[in-house]
Chains A and B, each alone.
Chain A
Amino acid sequence: AQTVTQSQPEMSVQEAETVTLSCTYDTSESDYYLFWYKQPPSRQMILVIRQEAYKQQNATENRFSVNFQKAAKSFSLKISDSQLGDAAMYFCAYMRGNEKLTFGTGTRLTIIP
């Protein structure tokens, strides 16, 4: 079974600084998708960024970028120029094809003003 591991239960970063959240996963598949979701205090799940495994280029979305290392099964999220609104739980997730999402345990990110 696929597993997703987030080894950092909590992280904090100074406003305007950069922070990297770690994620590793285990799969025997070669074709899959990886995601980072944000869950703010409202509890609404928000898609931050998505990566297709067949793409070598790392995905970027404005201040958010990933470091996808397929061989190492690593998928870290970098948040640049951190803002107060970035404070949330961040979940890494794996999905094969059109199957279900498997979530990591989450990392609580605190932004220090």
Chain B
Amino acid sequence: GAVVSQHPSRVICKSGTSVKIECRSLDFQATTMFWYRQFPKQSLMLMATSNEGSKATYEQGVEKDKFLINHASLTLSTLTVTSAHPEDSSFYICSARGGREWGGELFFGEGSRLTVL
């Protein structure tokens, strides 16, 4: 299948700082990318849908000013956790939708573990 790369895979930051996580589709163009958050031993919770060239659509209860999403190109979406606090510590996963040649299948990144001290 197609490859989606997330970076960094692990990040530790101090409370109050901002952290940016990148999600790249390496061998296909993705007009739509999704960002999820996963707590330990729980399922994936969709945070927002990111469409290239337009504003992200956030799920209910997700603070858009806290979790800034930018989808500036067909191969890159970024999630910035602003003024991070310990409660933002979590595993963040992105997925990208493949085009017609991939039957619209969703491909997932490896995930990024954020730890806020």
Contact = CB atoms under 8 A, between A and B. Distances in A.
Q: Do A and B come from one complex?
A: yes
Given A43-B91, A43-B111, A103 B34 contact: no
A13 B26 CA distance: 37
Nearest to A4: B43
Chain A, interface size: which category?
A: 10 to 19
Chain B, interface size: which category?
A: 10 to 19
Contact of A91 (B44, B91, B105): B44
A60 B20 CA distance: 39
Given A101-B34, A101-B106, A44 B97 contact: no
A112 B19 CA distance: 40
Interface string B63-103: 00000000000000000000000000001010101000000
B25 interface: no
Chain B binding surface, main DSSP class: strand
Contacts of A101: 34, 44, 46, 95, 106
A103 B44 contact: yes
A103 B110 contact: no
B1 A43 contact: no
B43 to A, nearest CB: 5
Given A45-B93, A45-B95, A47-B1, A104 B43 contact: yes
A98 B106 CA distance: 10
A42 interface: yes
Contacts of B46: 100-102
Contacts of A45: 44, 93, 95, 108
Nearest to B103: A50
B43 A105 contact: yes
B53 interface: no
Contacts of B43: 91, 103-106
B71 to A, nearest CB: 15
8 pairs of A and B residues whose beta carbons are closest in the complex: A45-B108, A43-B111, A103-B43, A105-B43, A103-B44, A106-B43, A44-B110, A100-B46
Interface of A: 42-47, 50, 91, 95, 98, 100-106
24 contacts: A43-B93, A43-B111, A44-B108, A44-B110, A45-B93, A45-B95, A47-B1, A47-B106, A91-B43, A91-B44, A95-B106, A98-B32, A98-B104, A100-B34, A100-B46, A100-B49, A101-B46, A101-B106, A102-B46, A103-B43, A105-B42, A105-B43, A106-B42, A106-B43
